[in-house]
């Protein structure tokens, strides 16, 4: 019988995270403060614990994973690598399609891979409560889960449109003991200012981040910190356990070369988690196509400039060197809530400007079509975010068929869609439409970055 799942024993879990910053052809530009000068680690101390700040600024290639974190991760890790044989047969492709199933975690996505370390490091630092934002609720659920296991209080500001669209995500958070609030809210200065200007706003991740940071830094006890589920370097670092496991599993499956690596991309964490260990191979000469995929409604990588911008609407974060649609961007209400962020991870952005990845954007109807085909061949119901990776995978498999090439395609199945069935319902009843971002709106949105410093571009080899 042909093998469908490639499994690793717990003893074969990676014992270190991989830090791509050590291997990039040119170092990423530093985050900047309000004065335009590089920030220092102590400037981040009111927001993050110093042990995570050390990881954020580290250029060491390998960082040890503490045993206590590994022990919790074994609740679902190593995650299985699947061979998508039924989809291959349906498409008639010579490509071999593999996917890392990150939906097996208790919250149902890749997000706990960093939620557990972040909660654990905060606890070690003496922190008692964490605040955060969430879009679709995947990250909020993951941090609520992590705080429950580690022993911290958790408060989540959830983008209002997703709060309304996905009530069961809120209930998951509350089951794990967290407080979940629709954002913008009347609890913070940032939220009240937005509501005064636009009382019917659907919200955005940028607004929710502003609220969560404000709630953390304004705690007079000093026992609250902020936690971010994507974008930052230490988040990308924690997620690389996905790609490191996948490499071992592909070797176990007898694969000697990978041709295509794919992941959906909102802030960058699930894509980076799978792709960064393969990007390292590409830097050292491997011929691999690395494809991050985003919605056409939030074309951060494919149409937005590489610039310095704030990570939040109220401009509380430092200026980050990243692809950005502008910190004031309010995205259309597509169902892939986890892909509606205005910016992109500085490390992922650097990978793109270095020419190491080839981003794509897809309309949501094509992605839902891919997700339904996936469900009717592979069986699993995918998160709307994950459907973007499936759409690109199908395109690559069809391309392999047209070229007559036996390619190895690997993608990250970043989460299940069992809490996202209202989106499928809307799709089946013809209520969904595509929302490609008009050029006029894009130009209006990026105007807020005018006058900001420009990040240094990599020097191309002659």
pLDDT, average across residues 328-352: 86
Segment 53-63 mean pLDDT:
97
At residue 462 the predicted structure's pLDDT band, cuts being 50, 70 and 90, is: very low
Number of other CB atoms surrounding residue 431 within 10 Å:
9
pLDDT at 460: 59
SS3 per-residue string spanning 404-428 = CCCCEEEEEECEECCCCHHHHHHHH
pLDDT value at 336 more than 90: no
Decide if pLDDT at 135 tops 90: no
Close Cβ partners of 148 (under 8 Å, ≥ 6 residues apart): 154, 176, 177, 178
pLDDT digits (tens, 9 = 90+) for 1-42: 999 999 999 999 999 999 999 999 998 899 999 889 999 999
Q: Is the pLDDT of residue 284 over 60?
A: yes
**What pLDDT does residue 337 have?**
67
CB atoms within 10 A of CB 355: 11
Phi, psi of 404 (to 5 degrees): 65, 35
**Other CB atoms within 10 A of residue 405 CB:** 12
Query: All domains of the chain, ordered by start, with CATH?
Result: 5-12+69-108+233-446 (3.40.50.1100)
- How many Cβ atoms sit within 10 Å of the Cβ of residue 352? 22
Asked whether the beta carbons of 266 and 135 are under 8 A apart, the reply is yes
Which pair of tokens denotes residue 43?
A: 């400037």
> Which tokens in the block code for residue 98?
């593999």
The set of residues, in sequence order, having a beta carbon less than 8 Å from that of 449 and lying 6+ positions away, is: 305, 307, 308, 309, 324, 326, 327
Q: Give the whole-angstrom CA distance, residue 105 versus residue 112.
A: 7
DSSP 6-64: E---GGGS-SEEE-GGGT-SSPPPPPB-TTSSBP-GGGGTTTS-HHHHHHHH---SEEE
pTM, two decimal places: 0.96
The helix or strand, by DSSP H or E, that contains position 309, with its residue range, turns out to be: strand 306-310
**Alpha carbons within 13 A on the beta-carbon side of 125:** 23
């Amino acid at each position: 019988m042909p093998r469908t799942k490639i499994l690793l024993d717990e003893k074969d879990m990676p014992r270190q995270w991989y830090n791509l910053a050590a291997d990039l052809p040119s170092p990423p530009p530093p985050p900047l403060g309000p004065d335009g000068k590089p920030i220092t680690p102590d400037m981040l101390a009111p927001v993050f614990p110093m042990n995570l700040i050390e990881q954020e600024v580290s250029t060491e290639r390998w960082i040890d994973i503490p045993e206590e974190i590994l022990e919790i991760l074994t609740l679902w890790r190593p995650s299985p690598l699947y061979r998508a044989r039924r989809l291959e047969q349906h498409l008639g492709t010579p490509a071999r399609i593999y996917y890392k199933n990150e939906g097996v975690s208790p919250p149902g996505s890749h997000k706990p891979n960093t939620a557990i370390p972040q909660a654990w490091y905060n606890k070690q630092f003496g922190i008692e409560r964490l605040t955060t934002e969430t879009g679709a609720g995947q990250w909020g659920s993951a941090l609520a889960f992590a705080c429950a296991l580690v022993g911290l209080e958790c408060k989540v500001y959830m983008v209002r449109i997703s709060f309304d669209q996905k009530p069961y995500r809120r209930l998951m958070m509350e089951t794990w003991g967290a407080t979940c609030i629709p954002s913008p809210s009347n609890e913070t200065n940032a939220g009240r200012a937005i509501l005064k200007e636009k009382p019917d706003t659907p919200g955005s991740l940028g607004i929710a981040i502003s609220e969560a940071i404000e709630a953390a830094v304004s705690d007079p006890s000093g026992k609250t910190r902020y936690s971010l589920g994507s974008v930052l370097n230490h988040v990308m670092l924690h997620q690389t356990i996905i790609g490191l496991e996948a490499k071992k599993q592909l070797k176990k499956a007898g694969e000697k070369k990978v041709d295509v690596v794919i992941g959906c991309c909102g802030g960058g964490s699930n894509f980076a988690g799978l792709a960064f260990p393969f990007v390292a191979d590409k830097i050292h000469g491997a011929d691999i196509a690395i494809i991050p995929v985003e919605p056409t409604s939030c074309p951060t990588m494919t149409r937005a400039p590489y610039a310095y911008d704030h990570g939040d609407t109220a401009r509380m974060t430092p200026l980050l060197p990243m692809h950005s649609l502008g910190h004031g961007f309010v995205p259309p209400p597509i169902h892939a809530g986890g892909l509606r962020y205005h910016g992109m991870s500085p490390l992922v952005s650097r990978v793109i400007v270095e020419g190491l990845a080839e981003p794509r954007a897809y309309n949501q109807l094509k992605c839902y079509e891919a997700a339904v085909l996936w469900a009717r061949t592979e069986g699993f119901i995918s998160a709307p975010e994950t459907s973007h990776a499936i759409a690109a995978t199908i395109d690559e498999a069809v391309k392999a068929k047209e070229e007559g090439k036996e390619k190895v395609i690997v993608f990250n199945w970043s989460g299940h869609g069992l809490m996202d069935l209202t989106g499928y319902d809307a799709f089946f009843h013809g209520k969904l439409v595509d929302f490609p971002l008009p050029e006029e709106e894009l130009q209006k949105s990026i105007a807020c970055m005018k006058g900001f410093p420009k990040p240094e571009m990599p020097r191309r080899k002659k």
